[in-house]
Amino acid sequence: MRNNVTEFILLGLTQDPQMHKIIFAIFLGFYTATMLGNLLIIVTINTSPALASPMYFFLTYLSIADSCFSTTTAPKLIVDSISQKNTISFDECMIQLFALHFFGCMEILVLIVMAYDRYVAICKPLHYPVIMNRRVCKILILLAWVGSFLHSIAQIILILTVPFCGPNVIDHYFCDLQPLLRLGCMDTYVLNLLVVSNSGAICSVSFVLLMISYTIILHSLKNHSAEGKRKALSTCSSHIIVVIIFFGPCIFMYTRPPTTFPLDKLVSVFYTIITPFLNPLIYTLRNAEVKNAMKKLWRKEINL
């Protein structure tokens, strides 16, 4: 069956014209804060010798993933909220889909690497410098990039097998697999199962592995000093909060049959826009080393 659709119409978050200006102001604020917050973390880590450990090396890439992940959806939502014609071409839709899953998967894999780093640091402290040397850290990040690319390519190959002959209206504010599959001119039941077994399995298995790893880490703290426990609990609790607020919405969206719920758009907003906004706050407000490095950077800039 031939593909007759060259563009899609995005219905956005709401059809109420009076809400569009509010949506524009709110999400422009969130997106601006997200970009500035993550940029501040990246600059602080790369200019502070005190933040040269592998944990902050990985945090840099988490901030990059957050910034790019938010950029895949937020700018389009902001522009469409004040635009009369909310369309996206077929090619742009595929690019958005690829980028969304690439940077989303990148964030998942970096969180897994960060959990492994904390496990080695707390459970095998004497071997930590050898196990988590600079070369190993770079290889782990490279593997995260490769894994994200393979995951995203699989999504694109899957959706390109679907013919679109109309209608072309997506009841969402960005292109994603399930909204697109509902528009396909074929039975997409098997493809929906593939989505659940791919994206859904990645989210669910990763979440379970992360929670198990942090449980092991927290259990091992009983043998540490009071100061060591305090520092490790502060770091691990930040990571656990990020894991929960990111994976909760993802699991809700990608591990269920192809049905639509009224909360779908709100849940999508949470993991594509709100979570990348919250991550810099969580990692700065709960991390004394990052806060001290930011203060030193601020004083240095003022003195200049």
Q: Is 2 within a domain? A: no
| Tokens read off for 201 | 């399995």
Q: Is 192 within a domain? A: yes
Share of the chain above pLDDT 90, in %: 40
Q: Is 1 within a domain? A: no
- Find the CATH number of the domain harbouring 126: 1.20.1070.10
CA distances from 46 to 99, 144, 300 (A): 25, 20, 14
Radius of gyration of the chain measured on its C-alpha atoms: 21
**Confidence check: pLDDT of 8 > 90:** yes
Number of domains in the chain: 1
DSSP-based three-state secondary structure for 9: strand
Q: Is 255 within a domain? A: yes
- How many CA atoms lie within 13 Å of 119's alpha carbon, on the beta-carbon side? 15
Supply the range of the domain harboring residue 242: 7-303
Pick from 80, 68, 70, 35: which is nearest to 173 by CA?
80
Cβ atoms of 224 and 273 closer than 8 Å: no
Is the entire prediction scored with pTM above 0.75? yes
Q: Which tens digit of pLDDT belongs to each residue from 81-140? A: 988 788 999 999 999 999 999 999 999 999 999 999 989 988 888 899 999 999 999 999
What sign results for the dihedral spanned by CA atoms 274, 254, 264, 21? positive
Cβ atoms of 242 and 63 closer than 8 Å: no
pLDDT of amino acid 258: 64
In eight-state DSSP terms, residue 221 is: G
